[in-house]
Amino acid sequence: MAPQYKLTYFNVTALGEPIRFLLSYGNIDFEDVRIEMEQWPSLKPSTPFGQLPLFEHNGKVIHQSMAIARYCAKLVKLTGSNDWEALEIDSAVDTINDLRQKIAQYHYEPNEELKASKKKPLVEETVPFYIERLEAKVKDNDGYFACKKLTWADLYFVAILGYLNFMLGKDLIENAPNLQKLKEKVLALPNIKAWVAKRPKGHF
Amino acid sequence: MAPQYKLTYFNVTALGEPIRFLLSYGNIDFEDVRIEMEQWPSLKPSTPFGQLPLFEHNGKVIHQSMAIARYCAKLVKLTGSNDWEALEIDSAVDTINDLRQKIAQYHYEPNEELKASKKKPLVEETVPFYIERLEAKVKDNDGYFACKKLTWADLYFVAILGYLNFMLGKDLIENAPNLQKLKEKVLALPNIKAWVAKRPKGHF
């Protein structure tokens, strides 16, 4: 049978990987379509808001990576036991996403001079501010981001960490033992381990 | 009885107003705490990630405005009838939030020269790109952002529109009749109308 879900994204981890992690975690088969940059200009005008990833199911197409990841997290039962737990998880995910955006604002800055001026406050203030608080959060939650149990916030973070490290040019969690342990724990989940072993080697 | 929910935010609409709209829509009483800028430096270090709004319930405190708004939307049953509808609504909300961030990147740019250089592409390209597509989306969904019925995406947009207009310095929807009709429809909901009539007059 053909997979019921189709994910279209670039041939990288980045915003697509949390979705791939979540579907893999639940053993949900999906079509993993990867667009090379030279194909993008011809595809872009046909997308809803000029963005990838796109997610297709039952003939419907939708964009927005976080919303898609949350939907997949519901499929695989990683959104908590009640609405307040779902809120705690969403809050953790949005905080990790804030950190991603702050790193991206540096990494994708086209003006070299401006980019250089953004590096010091990012590396010396913003990143340590976030990592210190995320590390404390994981310590307080028995080794997880929220609700003292495995949730999609944990898979989201580990799936996107390689991309964050790539953009920043260093390992974000080099001094954060609880975040390191969380990473090891997620990567040791059998379905995640199998996915990481078989996934295509993208550009980052 | 004291309200079961407490929202702490600045004395403005902005990121707090969707939450206030949603609770008001459901007739849910809440403590509407408003912080003036001069109080913020002493409060900031005690917040989880140096940000407002904060939301309190049952002795628990949480941050992240979108996550809080989604929780409130569940309380008032505006998150759709199933997981796919919830995804369509989340996708619409995240798209509106993308537009907010793009306008904010211009408005809050501290360097005057850079700010001026950001205005033309924002006003002539980015904003029309989003408004054109949001307008089409509302037209396709019988006057709503998603699922052909009232959802929290509609309340989110109308609650934050004044802030977007303030940051941009013009009315975003001046040429978008479907978005205008949606705005009128939301503002005519009895509980929203009552909230807007009684809310404190903040700085914007």
- Provide, as residue numbers in chain A, all residues whose Cβ is less than 8 Å from the Cβ of B48: 133
Give the nearest partner residue to A74 out of B50, B83, B91, using CB atoms: B83
pLDDT of B202 over the 90 cut: no
Looking at residue A22, the DSSP 8-state letter turns out to be H
Cα separation, A107 vs A187, whole angstroms? 26
For residues A90-127, one letter each, b for 16 or more C-beta atoms within 10 angstroms of the residue's C-beta and e for the rest, the string is bbbbbbbbebbebbeebbeeeeeeeeeebeeebeeebb
Arithmetic mean of pLDDT over chain B: 97
Cβ–Cβ gap B91/A129 under 8 Å: no
Pinpoint the residues of chain A covered by CATH 1.20.1050.10: 83-189
- Provide, as residue numbers in chain B, all residues whose Cβ is less than 8 Å from the Cβ of A133: 48-49
Pairs across A and B, CB distance < 8 A: 78
pLDDT at position B1 is 76
Tens-place pLDDT, residues B83-126: 999 999 999 999 999 999 999 999 999 999 999 999 999 999 99
SS3 A17: helix
Q: How far is A130 from chain B (nearest CA, A)?
A: 8
- Count CB-CB contacts under 10 A for residue A34: 15
- Provide, as residue numbers in chain A, all residues whose Cβ is less than 8 Å from the Cβ of B71: 83-84, 86-87, 90
CATH architecture of structural domain B5-77+191-198: 3-Layer(aba) Sandwich (3.40)
Cβ–Cβ gap B94/A67 under 8 Å: yes
Cα separation, B155 vs B177, whole angstroms? 17
Select the residue from B46, B90, B97, B118 to test the A interface by mutation, using most A Cβ atoms within 10 A.
B90
- Count CB-CB contacts under 10 A for residue B71: 24
Q: Parallel, antiparallel, or unpaired for β A54-57 and A60-63?
A: antiparallel
Cβ–Cβ gap A84/B57 under 8 Å: yes
CA distances from B137 to A125, B146, B148, B176 (A): 40, 8, 10, 11
Cα dihedral: A122, A124, A125, A126 (round 10):
30
Beta bridge partners of B57: B5, B60
- Which CATH superfamily is A5-76+191-198 part of? Glutaredoxin (3.40.30.10)
Q: How far is B50 from chain A (nearest CA, A)?
A: 10
Cα separation, B113 vs B131, whole angstroms? 26
Q: How far is B49 from chain A (nearest CA, A)?
A: 7
Which chain A residue shows the shortest CA-CA distance from B129?
A49
Cα separation, A145 vs A161, whole angstroms? 14
- Provide, as residue numbers in chain A, all residues whose Cβ is less than 8 Å from the Cβ of B15: none
**Cα dihedral across residues A101, A39, B84, A19: positive or negative:** negative
Cα separation, B125 vs B127, whole angstroms? 6
Give the nearest partner residue to A91 out of B64, B95, B98, using CB atoms: B64
B83-189 folds as Glutathione S-transferase Yfyf (Class Pi); Chain A, domain 2 (1.20.1050)
Pinpoint the residues of chain B covered by CATH 3.40.30.10: 5-77+191-198
Cα separation, A193 vs A1, whole angstroms? 24
Find the chain A residues whose C-beta atoms sit closer than 8 A to any C-beta of B: 48-50, 57-58, 60, 62-64, 66-68, 70-71, 74-75, 83-84, 86-88, 90-91, 93-95, 98, 101, 114, 129-130, 133
pLDDT at position A124 is 97
Provide the ipTM.
0.97
pLDDT of B20 over the 80 cut: yes
Cβ–Cβ gap B67/A87 under 8 Å: yes
Please report the beta strands in chain B, taking only residues with DSSP state E, as ranges in sequence order: 5-10, 30-35, 54-57, 60-63
Q: How far is B188 from chain A (nearest CA, A)?
A: 29
If we measure between CA atoms, which residue out of B65, B139, B129, B68 comes closest to residue B103?
B129
Tens-place pLDDT, residues B36-81: 999 999 999 999 999 999 999 999 999 999 999 999 999 999 999 9
- Provide, as residue numbers in chain A, all residues whose Cβ is less than 8 Å from the Cβ of B110: none
B154 Cβ contact partners less than 8 Å away, ≥ 6 residues apart: B144, B145, B182, B185, B186
Give the nearest partner residue to A90 out of B50, B70, B133, using CB atoms: B70
Contacts from B115-120 at CB under 8 Å and sequence distance 24+?
none
Cα separation, A148 vs A140, whole angstroms? 8
| Contact yes or no for A94/A87 (Cβ under 8 A) | no
pLDDT at position B2 is 85
* Segment-wise mean pLDDT, segments of 10 residues, chain A, 204 residues: 94 97 98 95 95 97 98 98 98 98 96 95 98 98 98 98 97 98 98 97 80
- Provide, as residue numbers in chain B, all residues whose Cβ is less than 8 Å from the Cβ of A129: 50
Cβ–Cβ gap B48/A133 under 8 Å: yes
**Longest CA–CA separation in chain B, Å:** 53
Cβ–Cβ gap B90/A63 under 8 Å: no
| Contact yes or no for A73/A18 (Cβ under 8 A) | no
Give the nearest partner residue to B90 out of A49, A64, A83, using CB atoms: A64
